Amino acid sequence: MDRETEELQHLGFVEAYKEAYKLIVSCRELFSKITVSLILPLSFLFLAQIHISYLIFAKIDTNVDVLEKTIDGSPVQQTIMTRLFSEWFTYLLFKSIYLIGVFIFSLLSTSAVVYTVACVYTAKDVSFRKIITMVPKVWKRLMVTFLWSFLVLFVYISIFFVFLLIIKFFGSGGSPIAIYFGIIITLLYFMGHIYIIIVWNLASVVSVLEDTYGIAALQKSNKLIRGKEHVVALIYLLTQMSLIGVNFYSET
């Protein structure tokens, strides 16, 4: 690639997409292999879980409707409750397998793409075999960064719910002031949630490229984002809108 690092640091929203397009086109064969081997299975898992979850929930809804019409303590009620237990167990087991699969392929695809891009911009020789052999070396760093990011997000969400409970406790009866503060806190929560996800994603990149992981990677990611918050936020929102569109299309 013929663009200097300093120039890349000041790319805007449109320029970032143009640069990404040029990069993919220039290394289409390599990115095609990564897509087929890592990203495509991840997409398949995402789409498959939508349809399978729909089928399982359709059975659960049917049995719930029948259960409401049965007599308490009857053999039919016991049979339906057994079916519901089995269906919920199947659903939770499927979701667990799905989340594990998504977690594995997400880390693999992230490390592969990040390493490839870094090699291209630093003019290093890179091949698909070299990428695959590199992935296990950064697995531990990505895992630690993921766990720290998840912990930060969990604490953040917990604090948000505590604030909502406080507002509900002191503003019982539908107080306009309580509703106003609830809306403000909710908006601030979503803004903070998006920022944490963005920092999390960039921290994964840092963990692949450097011997930095966990809370240190999150701190460095936070520093790197400063001054470019609006650009990364727009990219994230556009990505999420695309994902919602795919989800909606799959369900319809």
- Considering the domain architecture, whether residues 92 and 176 belong to the same structural domain is answered as no
Confidence class for position 2, pLDDT limits 50, 70, 90: very low
Residue ending a domain, among 96, 126, 156, is: 126
- Considering the domain architecture, whether residues 118 and 57 belong to the same structural domain is answered as yes
pLDDT at 171: 65
Q: Which domain holds residue 24?
A: 12-126
75 or 223, greater pLDDT:
223
- Considering the domain architecture, whether residues 142 and 113 belong to the same structural domain is answered as no
Please indicate, yes or no, if residue 132 is contained in any of the structural domains.
no
DSSP per position, 163-218: HHHHHHHHTTTT-HHHHHHHHHHHHHHHHHHHHHHHHHHHHHHHHHHSS--THHHH
- Considering the domain architecture, whether residues 180 and 155 belong to the same structural domain is answered as yes
Please indicate, yes or no, if residue 159 is contained in any of the structural domains.
yes
- Considering the domain architecture, whether residues 146 and 252 belong to the same structural domain is answered as yes
- Considering the domain architecture, whether residues 56 and 106 belong to the same structural domain is answered as yes
Q: What is the mean pLDDT of residues 88-102?
A: 88
Distance CA 251, CA 175 (A): 39
Confidence class for position 158, pLDDT limits 50, 70, 90: very high
Distance CA 47, CA 223 (A): 35
The whole-chain average pLDDT of the chain stands at 83
- Range name among 6-15, 47-56, 205-214 with the lowest pLDDT average: 6-15
Please indicate, yes or no, if residue 99 is contained in any of the structural domains.
yes
Please indicate, yes or no, if residue 231 is contained in any of the structural domains.
yes
- Considering the domain architecture, whether residues 116 and 145 belong to the same structural domain is answered as no
> What's this model's pTM, rounded to 2 decimal places?
0.74
- Considering the domain architecture, whether residues 112 and 166 belong to the same structural domain is answered as no
To the nearest 5 percent, what fractions of the chain are helix, strand and coil? 85, 0, 15
- Considering the domain architecture, whether residues 50 and 81 belong to the same structural domain is answered as yes
* pLDDT tens by residue, 189-238: 888 988 998 898 888 888 888 888 889 989 998 888 887 878 888 888 88
- Considering the domain architecture, whether residues 111 and 18 belong to the same structural domain is answered as yes
pLDDT at 130: 84
- Range name among 14-23, 26-35, 172-181, 189-198 with the lowest pLDDT average: 172-181
Please indicate, yes or no, if residue 117 is contained in any of the structural domains.
yes
